[in-house]
Each structure stands twice: as C-alpha cells, then as structure tokens.
C-alpha cells in the first residue's frame, strides 16, 4: 500500500521530549512555545515540570505527557502511583511509566502487571497511560510478553524506550514485535535514538503510532512542507 505523509501529519504524532534532569522551568517554557510552533501532539517532560507546561500550553491543544518512575522503573508501585496522581493533578494529559525491568527479566509477570495496574488505577481523570518496556534490554519473547502484560493491566500504549538506558533505544525490529503483540488494540510509541526523518518513517512503517523525539525540530525541518511517499 502506498501512503503519503506530510510534515503536519508527522508532527501530529510526535511527543516533543525534554527530560534532561538539569532542565529549568524557563527552558520548559521555551520548549512548550517551540512545541506550539511545531504543531506537535504533546510535550514529554519530567513530573515536576508538569505544572509549568500545563500553564504555558493552556488553550494551545498541545498535550502534556509526564514520565513516571523514570528512568529506572524500580520505584515501589505505590510511589509510581502517587507520582502519577500528582502529575495528573498538576495537569498531565498522559503518563509514560517505566516498567519494572527486574520483574520482567525475572519472569515475575504477576508483579510486573500489578505495578502497571497501580499506576492505571491512580489515573482517575481519563489520562492516557503508556508503558515503557525498555525493549533494547529484552529478548523478542520478553518484548511480546511485556506488551501483553501492559495490555492486561489496562494501558493504552506500549513504548519502546526511555532513551536513557545504555542498551539503546527503539529499533525497527522491536517496534514490529510490539505492534504484533498488541495488534492495534493499543498504540505503539517508538522512542530513543530517532534523530532523522528516515528513521522516524521507518518506525511508523514498522507499526509505531506515536513517536517520542527530542530532535523534533530537526526532523520536521528536514521535511519542510513536502509530501513523502511511503
């Protein structure tokens, strides 16, 4: 099937991402202004910056996405749930939580699922929940099972990576496995290591329905207003 994608269509599925721990409130404000100019879907930021972003983006249509249990995922479920509830209260529209990798790698699927359920339960205002599985650390079977655990726990999306793990970020192969595991029932967010338009489109072709990008301006700048044949 042949598809075309414009710059605006790509922007509409981008979570514009700034998660450096040294980021200031002033930098978040400028980042939000850039997000509005780029016409992206949302900004993905640290939970302590949600209030700043929500106020700056009020009325713009750009969503606020908070990371939860970031970047290790090893926080107690109660801590993740509390962090998610506070982020929602501060104005987050979506939460991207990190799965507990130790539980996944240890095959403790009931506990890994319960960890996600704790965050899902804390989001009482209809916020979208994405589960970051850190796919570069996992085998194909573990990727598949992690996605199914996220689905069983009530997540809306599975997400490939934090972008902070030394094992790496999204790959086409991982996104294909994730997409196959959820089969359209959940969204798939590719994040980590996507630095150019070619890679972004490769992730979409593999099944990604959302992209987490820190290089949004550069990637969208590559496209101008042109249409890209798929």
CA atoms within 13 A on the CB side of 107: 1
pLDDT at 226 over 70: no
Q: Is residue 22 pLDDT above 70, yes or no?
A: yes
In the block, residue with structure tokens 């992209």? 211
**pLDDT tens digits along 157-200:** 999 999 999 999 999 999 999 999 999 999 999 999 999 999 99
Mean pLDDT over 63-71 rounds to: 98
Reported as a pLDDT band with limits 50, 70 and 90, residue 43 is very high
Four-point Cα dihedral 132, 134, 139, 144, nearest 10: 10
Answer whether 0.75 is exceeded by the pTM. Answer: yes
pLDDT of residue 6: 86
| pLDDT band, residue 227 (cuts 50/70/90) | very low
- Share of the chain residues as helix, strand and coil, in percent rounded to the nearest 5: 45, 20, 35
Residue 221 has pLDDT above 60, yes or no: yes
Q: Are 183 and 152 within 8 A, CB to CB?
A: no
86 contacts: CB under 8 Å, gap ≥ 6: 47
At 76-135, the pLDDT tens digits run 999 999 999 999 999 999 999 999 999 999 999 999 999 999 999 999 999 999 999 999
* Burial zone of 228 (CB within 10 Å; 0-12 exposed, 13-18 middle, 19+ buried): middle
The mean predicted confidence, pLDDT, of the chain is 95
pLDDT over 80 at 229, yes or no: no
CATH number listed for the domain at residues 16-223: 3.20.20.70
Please give the residue that has the higher pLDDT: either 69 or 225: 69
pLDDT at 7 over 50: yes
From 63, 80, 130, 189, active-site residue: 189
Confidence (pLDDT) at 13: 97
The answer to whether residue 189 is catalytic is: yes
Catalytic residue (choose from 96, 115, 130, 156): 96
């Amino acid at each position: 099937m042949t598809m075309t994608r414009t710059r605006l269509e790509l922007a509409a599925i981008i979570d514009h991402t700034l998660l450096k721990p040294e980021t200031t409130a002033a930098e978040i404000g400028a980042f939000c202004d850039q997000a509005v100019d780029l016409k992206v879907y949302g900004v993905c930021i640290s939970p302590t910056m949600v209030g700043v972003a929500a106020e700056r983006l009020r009325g713009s249509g750009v969503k606020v996405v908070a990371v939860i249990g970031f970047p290790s995922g090893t926080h107690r479920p109660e801590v993740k749930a509390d962090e998610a509830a506070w982020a929602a209260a501060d104005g987050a529209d979506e939460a991207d939580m990190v799965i507990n990798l130790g539980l996944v790698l240890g095959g403790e699927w009931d506990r890994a699922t319960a960890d996600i359920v704790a965050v899902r339960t804390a989001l009482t205002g209809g916020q979208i929940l994405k589960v970051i599985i850190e796919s570069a650390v996992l085998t194909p079977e573990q990727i598949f099972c992690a996605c199914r655990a996220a689905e069983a726990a009530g997540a809306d999306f599975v997400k490939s990576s934090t972008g902070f793990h030394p094992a790496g970020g999204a790959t086409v192969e991982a996104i294909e496995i994730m997409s196959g595991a959820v089969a359209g029932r959940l969204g798939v967010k590719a994040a980590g290591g996507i630095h150019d338009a070619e890679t972004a489109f490769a992730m979409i072709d593999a099944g990604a329905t959302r992209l987490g990008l820190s290089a949004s301006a550069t990637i969208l700048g590559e496209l101008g207003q042109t249409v890209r044949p798929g």
